[in-house]
Amino acid sequence: MPDPTTQSREKSAPHRALPTEKRIVTIDEYVRDWTRIRTREEIKLSRDNQEIARGLADGVTRDGNTLWLIQPAGKGRSMFTNQGGILAFRTNTSTPSPQI
């Protein structure tokens, strides 16, 4: 008589790997000197660890005190000044990663 544990293993379906979940990894790089921000770079602005704006850089004054962002979702072009605790981050979206 065959062993019942062997029979159940033989009848079970082969193990199939689940598809790997792909995630977009965003790497934020702090930009201390706003004169280093280039047009068309994706920039995130935050204050007190809260994001206040995000968009594509449209221009920076020569002294780095003023930045213009073109924001998504119909928010348009906005001007921000480098004061009051506003921090700028260059956001670079990497290729999808199978694991984090």
Q: Report yes or no: 28 and 90 within 8 Å, Cβ to Cβ.
A: yes
Report pLDDT for 92: 78
Report pLDDT for 27: 82
DSSP-assigned states of every residue in 28-80:
EEEES-GGG--TT-EEEEEETTEEEEEEEEEEE-TTS-EEEEEETTTTEEEEE
Task: Spell out the domains of the chain, with CATH numbers in brackets.
Answer: 32-100 (2.30.30)
**93 pLDDT above the threshold of 70:** no
Band the pLDDT of 97: cuts 50, 70, 90.
Answer: very low
